[in-house]
Structure 1
């Protein structure tokens, strides 16, 4: 499993928070209140691939309280940053761990298993193994910001569709968890969680990027161009033409990147 830099996670966070479905977050927090145990009032949330704590921050903005956060992340630098930002304000247990070793993940007693922009990087076998460890009678699953394979740009360019197709193909390669589900992630989660008896709520959570997200757009465009450089349908010259056009129109263009938020609650 590869890691992401603090700079990239910070760069995308404002777009992530704006995109997250607020009703799903409210529904989750309402469920936590209804499920409260008077003997043990603190709710336990296990956040997988926690990074610097973006899910924690997003739910805190929605009014979360009395949550013990188990932040699970392979990159110790990201965990240290999460503790630096929140160690005095929140109850945090940090776990530096390889998510692939599912049997060792600290899931015991969890009320929520959460992950943001993670499950689309994982494989069907990873999700199956993870859900096999979760108590479907007691544990909610909150999967936010999973890429759905759609990206729309304005102004349009003649290569947009070919670049998108090549990028989506790249999203299926192994990201450290086996062959990635990529854009098929939400449908697979929906099927797997329904089979375990969960009640599901899904909502689109697209990025809406404009000139105010210029740094993020520049990184996104460069990242897409790098990801598709070996695509059979595109020459290097064509990719550079597309990249230069996209960067030239950051100031007057718009980009929508499709994601889905999913909440699965015990029956």
Structure 2
């Protein structure tokens, strides 16, 4: 069963008055939540497309995965509006059954008076808002991301207390998983990430596994795409779009739907015990806004991969969005959560 007892509602960026224990890696106080509030969707935008939430197929709609044009070495910058929109579905989907083996492992860590959690690719900090209130004891979260704006956004909206009321503090580090080392994780109790593995290459997954096993800390890696989507009612074009989308996810050597298998192999080869549990989004009428944005991104990526689909995809998308608005569409987007229990103290 999913765990639901949390101290704040998932998907909300809570106002948290009073002094905060939030700094960047240099010890500089971070801006307030009000200063970092994301822009609202533009007035008169028709469908209410969120800037930066996913590729869109129609002229005049802004690309949904990026907030800016990226250079050849840059990963996409994700819009906080999109990350906030998906946060309740993410929270509901994450595999709570992995928390018991994780708690057992954390409780048996030698010589630790509190937890140090490194959150890789933290985005707006949804993983911390989900996990910190489910773990006991003092916690210090180290938030990693390449985007300084998202780092600040995550820090000011971080939880203040653990499940037992213990203090939670945070710091931020701007960085890249490709540069992660065991030394960077010195003293870490846990590494977490959400929706990260599928945008990594196999070489980057190996770096992640090396760092975690070298530091002897477990890794909880959630919401990696599994390459399967179920849409009801069905349509003959569903399977062809899904195939094109999966190919798009693998472009440039990224793992996409192969990420969980590759990550299991990488950690297992280094002596870790790996658990994998399904963590699907189940979207119905109550999640219509998220479903609509997801549809635009899913179809848009498929068409980008296969332009020959455009003539059929445009009416398909219109019909799907109309069904979504009418409350007649149900979508299951399959993901997997992975818990890698490395050997304490590093590999033998």
User: What does 1:44-123 align with in structure 2 at a 5 Å threshold?
Assistant: 44-86=116-158, 89=161, 90-103=168-181, 106-123=184-201
Which residue is equivalent to 1:254? Answer: 330
| Match among 228, 233, 236 for residue 158 of structure 1 | 236
Matches within 5 A, 1:1-267: 1-37=75-111, 40-86=112-158, 89=161, 90-103=168-181, 106-136=184-214, 138-174=216-252, 179-232=253-306, 234-250=308-324, 251-267=327-343
- Displacement, 1:231? 3.9
Contact 2:212-2:342 at 8 Å conserved across structures: no
* 1:83, distance to aligned residue in structure 2 (A): 1.8
The alignment's C-alpha RMSD in Å is 1.9
Deviation of 1:88 after TM superposition, in Å, equals 5.3
Deviations 1:199-228 (A, max 9, x none): 111100000001111111111111112112
Shift, 1:82, TM fit: 1.5
Give the CA deviation at 1:98.
Answer: 3.0
The normalised TM-score by structure 1 is 0.91
For the pair shown, the structure with the greater C-alpha radius of gyration is: 2
Which structure's residues are more often strand, by fraction?
A: 1
- The higher-RCO structure (CA 8 Å, 6+ apart) is 1
How many residues are aligned here? 261
CA contact (8 A) 1:207 1:259 kept: yes
- Ranges in structure 2 where 5+ consecutive residues have no aligned partner: 1-74, 162-167, 344-348
Shift of 1:7: 0.5
How far residue 232 of structure 1 moved from its aligned partner, in angstroms, is 3.8
- Deviation of 1:67 after TM superposition, in Å, equals 1.8
Distance across 2 between alignment mates of 1:103 and 1:198: 17
Contact 1:155 1:249 in 2 (8 A): no
CA distance in 1, matches of 2:137, 2:283: 31
